[in-house]
């Protein structure tokens, strides 16, 4: 009877550690099944622009290429050996200024021969003139002598002209390009006698073409010289040429190869800053458009569905808004549709935005002067507090 008594007394000592271990495991399992809820992130500070309808010019901007208003090819009118180049390449020249000298010797000999023949023909005609008055020669002989005198005089004039052509002069004022032929070359007259080209760069002409999509942006979809209020030239550095231009050519049909309507504008170029062959941009102003909105370029996102902006709605949450974008005006997009007055367009932190996310909008802050201390009232400083 003593053995059962010892077993019953040992049972509480065996079950107590097991119960404690089970309670610990149960508590661990419960803690893993219900993790604590993380705190919501604070609203993201963003800069917004409140939209107000405004007026903007209707512009079409396309790539163009400059050319001289006159581009004259200087060619030799007589053949011969090119002896000297008489101008500095790439410098301005005046009309009539000598540019090249061709060997004169053959033409001087031809002139002397023509002069001798002309003098002989004149003497013969004068001799027969006295005889015809005495009826000592026939009228035909005298008429032949007069005709020979005229032919000899024409040959003399041609010989004098050919001799003058040996000095090649500038037909127009402008900038003479490099010489195509160097000294010592045998020059042929005509098509093979190109020596240089003279560009007249003041005024300067600018050629460009408008595609059908460009023409569609013009009020009425029709372009003529009266529908263009002004023409501006945008230089490669983004600045605008101080002189406004005018349209001096408008094609009557579309180019079948390029699908564009060819145009040309004329600009004053007194200082020669614009060069023929230079690529520029032409901006045509064709009127004004009311009720549009201006949005910074960086705020317009190109999505697969088209252009859109991010708007802070009445609950200060991000709302994507599809818009109809027009052309650029300075650093802004011209927005033709999709926005209304009072909309708050977000212009920064766009990469961090998600639709429906809470934001803390604030208007644009004024730029601090160099060396000034930052404004402690900015949203970023307030967020740190």
Classify residue 24: in a domain, yes or no: no
Classify residue 275: in a domain, yes or no: yes
Asked if residue 135 and residue 203 are part of one domain, the reply reads no
Asked if residue 302 and residue 224 are part of one domain, the reply reads no
Asked if residue 274 and residue 213 are part of one domain, the reply reads yes
Phi, psi of 320 (to 5 degrees): -65, 140
Distance CA 359, CA 362 (A): 10
Asked if residue 335 and residue 317 are part of one domain, the reply reads yes
Last residue of a domain, one of 258, 289, 320: 289
- Kind of pairing, strands 92-93 and 186-187? unpaired
Distance CA 284, CA 263 (A): 11
CB distance 289 to 58 below 8 Å: yes
Distance CA 224, CA 260 (A): 15
Collapsing DSSP states into helix, strand and coil, what is residue 279? strand
The Cα diameter of the chain in Å comes to 195
Task: Write out the residue range of the structural domain in which residue 240 sits.
Answer: 58-68+198-289
Asked if residue 298 and residue 358 are part of one domain, the reply reads yes
Instruction: Count how many residues are written for the chain.
Output: 385
Classify residue 42: in a domain, yes or no: no
Collapsing DSSP states into helix, strand and coil, what is residue 196? strand
What's the gap between Cα 29 and its chain centre?
A: 71
Last residue of a domain, one of 221, 256, 289: 289
The Cβ-side half-sphere exposure at 261, using a 13 Å CA radius, reads 16
Total domain count for the chain? Answer: 3
CB distance 79 to 186 below 8 Å: yes
Classify residue 373: in a domain, yes or no: no
CATH of residue 62's domain is: 2.40.30.170
Per-residue pLDDT of the chain (385 residues; tens, 9 = 90+): 444 444 444 444 544 445 455 555 444 544 555 566 666 678 889 999 999 999 888 888 889 999 988 889 999 999 999 999 999 998 889 999 999 999 999 999 999 999 999 999 999 888 888 787 777 778 888 888 889 999 999 999 999 999 999 999 999 988 999 999 999 999 998 878 899 999 888 899 999 998 877 777 776 666 766 778 789 999 988 888 998 999 888 888 888 888 888 999 999 998 888 888 899 999 888 878 888 899 998 899 888 888 999 999 999 999 999 999 887 787 888 898 999 999 999 999 888 888 998 999 989 887 644 444 444 434 334 334 3
Asked if residue 331 and residue 310 are part of one domain, the reply reads yes
Helix axes 105-133, 139-165, angle to 10 degrees: 160
Alpha-carbon torsion, ordered 37, 38, 39, 42, to 10 deg: -140
Classify residue 380: in a domain, yes or no: no
Last residue of a domain, one of 165, 185, 218: 165
Asked if residue 135 and residue 213 are part of one domain, the reply reads no
Classify residue 74: in a domain, yes or no: no
Asked if residue 360 and residue 294 are part of one domain, the reply reads yes
CATH of residue 121's domain is: 1.10.287.470
Asked if residue 217 and residue 161 are part of one domain, the reply reads no
């Amino acid at each position: 009877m003593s053995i059962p008594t010892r077993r019953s007394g040992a049972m509480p000592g065996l079950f107590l550690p097991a119960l404690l271990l089970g309670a610990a495991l149960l508590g661990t399992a419960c803690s893993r099944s219900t993790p604590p809820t993380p705190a919501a992130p604070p609203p993201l500070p963003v800069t917004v622009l409140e939209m107000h309808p405004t007026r903007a010019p209707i512009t079409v901007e396309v790539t163009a290429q400059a050319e001289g208003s006159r581009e004259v090819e200087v060619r030799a009118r007589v053949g011969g050996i090119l002896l000297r180049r008489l101008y500095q390449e790439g410098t301005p020249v005046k009309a009539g200024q000598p540019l090249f000298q061709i060997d004169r010797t053959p033409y001087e000999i031809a002139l002397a021969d023509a002069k001798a023949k002309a003098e002989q023909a004149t003497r013969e005609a004068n001799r027969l003139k006295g005889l015809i008055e005495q009826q000592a020669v026939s009228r035909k002989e005298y008429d032949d002598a007069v005709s020979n005198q005229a032919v000899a005089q024409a040959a003399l004039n041609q010989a004098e002209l050919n001799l003058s052509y040996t000095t090649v002069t500038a037909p127009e004022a402008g900038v003479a390009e490099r010489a195509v032929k160097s000294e010592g070359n045998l020059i042929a007259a005509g098509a093979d006698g190109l020596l240089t080209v003279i560009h007249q760069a003041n005024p300067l002409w600018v050629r460009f073409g408008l595609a059908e999509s460009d023409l569609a942006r013009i009020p009425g979809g029709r372009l003529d010289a009266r529908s263009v209020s002004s023409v501006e030239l945008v230089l490669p550095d983004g600045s605008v040429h101080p002189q406004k231009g005018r349209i001096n050519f408008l094609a009557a049909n579309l180019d079948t190869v390029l699908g564009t309507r060819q145009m040309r504008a004329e600009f004053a170029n007194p200082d020669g800053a614009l060069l023929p062959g230079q690529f520029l941009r032409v901006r045509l102003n064709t009127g004004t458009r009311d009720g549009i909105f201006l949005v910074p370029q960086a705020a317009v996102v190109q999505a697969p569905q088209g252009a859109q902006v991010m708007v802070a709605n009445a609950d200060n949450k991000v709302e994507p808004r599809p818009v109809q974008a027009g052309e650029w005006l300075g650093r802004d997009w011209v927005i033709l549709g999709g926005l209304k007055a009072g909309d708050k367009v977000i212009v920064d932190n766009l990469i961090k935005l998600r639709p429906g996310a809470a934001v803390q909008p604030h208007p644009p802050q004024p730029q601090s002067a160099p060396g000034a201390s930052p404004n402690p009232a900015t949203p970023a400083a307030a967020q740190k507090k």
